Amino acid sequence: MSERTTVTVVGAAGRMGQMLIETILADERVVLAGATERPGHPWIGRDLGTCMGGSTHGIEVTDDPLEVFARSHAIVDFTTPASTVMHAELAAQARAVHVIGTTGLSASDHERIAAAAFHTPVIRAGNMSLGVNLLVQITRQVAAALDEDFDIEIVETHHRHKIDAPSGTALMLGEAAADGRGRRLEDVEVRTRDGITGPRRRGGVGFSVVRGGDVVGEHDVIFAADGERVVLRHLASDRRIFARGALKAALWGQGQPSGAYDMTHVLGLAEPDGASD
Ligand code: NAD
């Protein structure tokens, strides 16, 4: 590639934002074009390098995304649902590839992002790691192979700061499990249990959520039958895996037609039927 890909990180001060900036600065294929934060954030107007505790590197953190989007090939976005929807519209205007890692998006957020994807490539995944995306495929296959004598439970653990539940990854795994059995997750999911719940419903997909400490992310998919259990597990111990996946997506998106994509496309795991949402 003769010209390096220019990338803007929105939510630069966040846990993922800082990890993304470090990953971009260490990768010769890309150049950091800009860094944004929410209006009123203490980093606004300051040098990014100084904010991150190092030497200056000439990029001022801004709360004006459109100005930096206009000179970026890609936007990498691990922020909040409200800001991600706003960024989707601005990335579409700027025709920049939008890589979305933000979780907790509502149905109407998804609709607005899908509308933006008519104008530019949008790559969204509740988990950007290779391991989890493989686990999603395997979960679909195991769910298809094991009948409803096997109850499906998804257990996830995350750090104490996480604001949404179940995790985007747990929902990806739940969707794959339901899909493997030819069902829609919303028809079979059990999101909470409290009090006298009665016995477990056959064919349900249950979620359990653990929050605490600094856990980066752990997911178990349990297939439990009488006398045996199959447990599929992914343990993330370093946020770098998500940042590397996001960067891979930003590069993969260059030159792709407008549309909604996910990491299965980026990693070459998707069925050859084009973009999906
Ligand atoms: P965080 O709270 O540390 O960071 C979010 C940042 O976004 C904050 O600095 C916040 O100030 C900033 N922000 C909010 N509104 C903004 C706006 N309008 N413009 C610019 N910046 C804005 O959170 P985090 O742990 O970094 O996670 C962020 C999101 O990414 C969450 O939804 C999380 O679940 C998700 N996540 C996804 C993956 C994945 O692989 N897809 C991996 C890790 C985290």
pTM given for the model: 0.89
Q: What is the mean pLDDT of residues 96-113?
A: 97
pLDDT of residue 3: 84
Residue nearest to atom 25 of ligand 1 (CA): 15
* 218 φψ region: left (φ > 0), alpha (ψ -120 to 50), beta (else): beta
For ligand 1, say whether the CB of 150 is within 6 Å of any of its atoms: no
130: CB partners within 8 A, 6+ apart? 241, 245, 267
The residue whose CB lies within 8 Å of the most ligand 1 atoms, and thus the one to mutate among 19, 78, 264, is: 78
Which tokens is 70 given?
């206009």
Q: What is the mean pLDDT of residues 114-122?
A: 98
Q: How confident is the model at residue 273 (pLDDT cuts 50, 70, 90)?
A: low
For ligand 1, say whether the CB of 133 is within 6 Å of any of its atoms: no
The residue whose CB lies within 8 Å of the most ligand 1 atoms, and thus the one to mutate among 80, 234, 242, 248, is: 80
DSSP for 62-91, please give it: BS-HHHHHTT-SEEEE-S-HHHHHHHHHHH
For ligand 1, say whether the CB of 17 is within 6 Å of any of its atoms: yes
Tell me: the pLDDT tens digits for 17-30? 999 999 999 999 99
pLDDT of residue 79: 98
Looking at the CA of residue 79, tell me the nearest atom of ligand 1. Answer: 7
Looking at the CA of residue 245, tell me the nearest atom of ligand 1. Answer: 40
Q: Which residues are catalytic?
A: 158, 162
160: CB partners within 8 A, 6+ apart? 211, 212, 213, 214
Tell me: the pLDDT tens digits for 125-171? 999 998 999 999 999 999 999 999 999 999 999 999 999 999 999 99
Tell me: the pLDDT tens digits for 183-227? 999 999 999 999 999 999 999 999 999 999 999 999 999 999 999
pLDDT of residue 272: 56
Which tokens is 43 given?
């980093």
pLDDT of residue 5: 97
pLDDT of residue 276: 45
133: CB partners within 8 A, 6+ apart? 125, 127, 263, 264, 267, 269
pLDDT of residue 271: 65
Q: Measured in angstroms, how far is the CA atom of residue 136 from the centroid of ligand 1?
A: 23
Looking at the CA of residue 41, tell me the nearest atom of ligand 1. Answer: 11
Looking at the CA of residue 12, tell me the nearest atom of ligand 1. Answer: 9
Q: Measured in angstroms, how far is the CA atom of residue 165 from the centroid of ligand 1?
A: 14
Q: What is the mean pLDDT of residues 223-242?
A: 97
For ligand 1, say whether the CB of 80 is within 6 Å of any of its atoms: yes
Which tokens is 61 given?
């953190």
Q: Measured in angstroms, how far is the CA atom of residue 91 from the centroid of ligand 1?
A: 17
Q: How confident is the model at residue 82 (pLDDT cuts 50, 70, 90)?
A: very high
Chain mean pLDDT for the chain: 95
Element (H, E) at 266: helix 263-266
DSSP state of 54: S
Rounded to the nearest angstrom, the gap between the alpha carbon of residue 225 and the centroid of all alpha carbons in its chain is 31
Q: What is the mean pLDDT of residues 167-186?
A: 96
pLDDT of residue 2: 52
Task: Say if CB 13 and CB 37 are below 8 A apart.
Answer: yes
